[in-house]
Chain A
């Protein structure tokens, strides 16, 4: 069998075919740049900040934006410019952690539901439907009752636990399609456990279609953090975040100090719009590009 003529056909791989050019949507560069302009200073808050964001300079309460305080100060005399970056980091952290938790839950519950016997599937999906039918803020309020004092972590957990429902339905539909694949059966025969199958075989297949949902989940988590903190059920006043900064806004209305209201909200809005744009882009890429990315 050393004679090369007797070598099996196809024993050696052919030269790699040139990767096909796919028509791609133009990535939203301007959005990405804008988002980076907000996110990077937040991550490097210590460098950007001009003052200690927690320091209450009672001599300078409610100062309108000026040279010394670029974005003014709030009713406790804290420098809004520094708080924006410092608080942004916390807001984004909450959003990120909540998204991670929600995505993990959605992946577990969705694929469990798809792989489970029919009655368990029906039960899980019914519960999901019911939870979807309650305004998510109500669920959050209920869970909030478990924690007397909120921290970044407890809030992320609460937002994560209440945010998995929509995604888990997507995961379930995807897994139902993958379930019949023979490589799933092969792996199960070789002794792969549920979590092994999920991690190695299922997740890589459905993550592309989950990306858009995860980005949207991030958006709603950041929004929910702000709403809850504003109402006084989220992060306390001393934990600086965009939401807790806005919890002073209602007072500020009485004195018509617009900067306390407008500036943190504007940052929130711009971030959310950027995130939405990127999410929409991901969805378009996903629906037009090849499925096996």
Chain B
């Protein structure tokens, strides 16, 4: 197997709030992402998905465990070259696109910002042409180049944010709930766009979402996080066909079905057991792992 693009090893992170309150967000998450692979991370709100994304981007330093991109520890790059490499090859898309674009920048400036910062020469000749190229890639007209973020709609802003992230030609894209703030028709557009771009550009992607349908459509593998722990990881088709962990089952059962007759009979399950720090990993099939509680009988 080739070396992983991103490897997350036993990461623990606890939010320390003022007043001495501490909230554990990640409790030993391990994960590997191969080049060109899309891994979806699903789980309920507050389970630590966004914390994981921020830790991968180096915005948070985990108290325990390490995160390596291409063999570079993202929290302690050894030298300037490694730091540069991280800054350029690893990009992020935020949940609220409108907030992630500086209201004083034009779209052209926004898209070219990573290029200028990484001192990369534009591949299309000039910065303006480069920005126009990426706008076209995300399905927007070059007329947008001189617009400001306030003049964009939510979907347009998210497209611009994607264009900015891709302009530096990253090898790893971290998308922290990029579709959560959009309405349903736009969600599909953005997911299709990401899928097309990923096929063309071949970058690896960590796709964080709570919408299972979109994850199913886009991702190669899916990881389920529950209360800060990874509870199940499997190729998408396998996970949706044969979920093992109780939480995954509950999550899938909450998914509405397209057929109204089936939908009527759908019985949502609930899973509210706390997950302990122990547990044993079981292998259901070559790439399908799930976490069983000590008492639980696997298989």
Q: Do chains A and B touch in the complex (CB under 8 A)?
A: yes
Instruction: Report the separation of the CA atoms of residues A12 and B159 in the bound assembly, to the nearest whole angstrom.
Output: 13
A12 / chain B contacts, CB cutoff of 8 Å: 141, 143
A196 / chain B contacts, CB cutoff of 8 Å: 117
Residue of A nearest to B87 (CB): A191
Instruction: Mark A9-49 against chain B: 1 for CB-CB distance below 8 A, else 0.
Output: 01111001000000000000000000000000000000000
| Cβ-defined partner of B156 (8 Å) among A10, A16, A200 | A10
On chain B, the number of residues with a Cβ less than 8 Å from chain A's Cβ atoms is 37
- Pick the interface stretch among B100-108, B199-207, B281-289: B100-108
Inter-subunit contact A186/B117 (CB<8 Å): no
Inter-subunit contact B139/A11 (CB<8 Å): yes
Residue of B nearest to A181 (CB): B99
| Cβ-defined partner of A183 (8 Å) among B100, B151, B156 | B100
Given contacts A191-B84, A191-B88, A191-B118, contact A11 B140 (CB under 8 A): yes
| Cβ-defined partner of A187 (8 Å) among B90, B113, B141, B153 | B113
Instruction: Report the separation of the CA atoms of residues A187 and B99 in the bound assembly, to the nearest whole angstrom.
Output: 12
Instruction: Report the separation of the CA atoms of residues A88 and B166 in the bound assembly, to the nearest whole angstrom.
Output: 55
A201 at the interface (CB under 8 A from B): yes
Instruction: Mark A192-213 against chain B: 1 for CB-CB distance below 8 A, else 0.
Output: 1000100011001100000000
| Cβ-defined partner of A191 (8 Å) among B105, B117, B164 | B117
A182 at the interface (CB under 8 A from B): yes
B25 at the interface (CB under 8 A from A): no
Inter-subunit contact A190/B94 (CB<8 Å): no
A138 / chain B contacts, CB cutoff of 8 Å: none
Within 8 A of A (CB), among B140-179: 140-141, 143-144, 147, 150-151, 153, 155-156, 164, 168
B7 at the interface (CB under 8 A from A): no
Instruction: Report the separation of the CA atoms of residues A196 and B100 in the bound assembly, to the nearest whole angstrom.
Output: 17
Inter-subunit contact A182/B96 (CB<8 Å): yes
Inter-subunit contact B150/A292 (CB<8 Å): yes
A185 / chain B contacts, CB cutoff of 8 Å: 59, 94, 100
| Cβ-defined partner of A182 (8 Å) among B90, B99, B103, B151 | B99
A8 at the interface (CB under 8 A from B): yes
| A293 CB to nearest B CB, Å | 10
Please indicate which of the listed interface residues A8, A183, A185 has the most CB atoms of chain B within 10 Å of its own CB. A183
A189 at the interface (CB under 8 A from B): yes
A11 / chain B contacts, CB cutoff of 8 Å: 139-141
Residue of A nearest to B57 (CB): A189
Inter-subunit contact A191/B83 (CB<8 Å): yes
Please indicate which of the listed interface residues A185, A186, A204, A205 has the most CB atoms of chain B within 10 Å of its own CB. A186
A8 / chain B contacts, CB cutoff of 8 Å: 139, 189
Within 8 A of A (CB), among B84-131: 84, 87-88, 90-92, 94, 96, 99-105, 113-114, 117-118
A182 / chain B contacts, CB cutoff of 8 Å: 94, 96, 99-100
Inter-subunit contact A10/B153 (CB<8 Å): yes
Instruction: Mark B49-93 against chain A: 1 for CB-CB distance below 8 A, else 0.
Output: 000000001110000000000000000000000011001101110
| Cβ-defined partner of B87 (8 Å) among A16, A190, A201 | A190
Please indicate which of the listed interface residues B88, B100, B144 has the most CB atoms of chain A within 10 Å of its own CB. B100
A-binding residues in B (CB < 8 A): 57-59, 83-84, 87-88, 90-92, 94, 96, 99-105, 113-114, 117-118, 139-141, 143-144, 147, 150-151, 153, 155-156, 164, 168, 189
Q: Can you give 26 A-B contacts (C-beta < 8 A)? A: A8-B139, A10-B140, A11-B139, A11-B141, A12-B141, A12-B143, A181-B102, A182-B94, A183-B99, A183-B102, A185-B94, A185-B100, A186-B92, A186-B100, A187-B102, A187-B113, A189-B59, A189-B91, A189-B92, A190-B118, A190-B168, A200-B102, A201-B102, A204-B102, A204-B104, A205-B103
Q: A187-B117, A189-B92 are in contact. List 11 more A-B contacts (CB 8 A).
A: A8-B139, A11-B139, A16-B151, A181-B100, A183-B99, A185-B94, A187-B113, A189-B59, A190-B91, A190-B113, A190-B118
Task: Across the A-B interface, give the 7 residue pairs with the lowest CB-CB distance, nearest first.
Answer: A191-B87, A182-B100, A204-B104, A183-B102, A190-B114, A182-B94, A12-B141
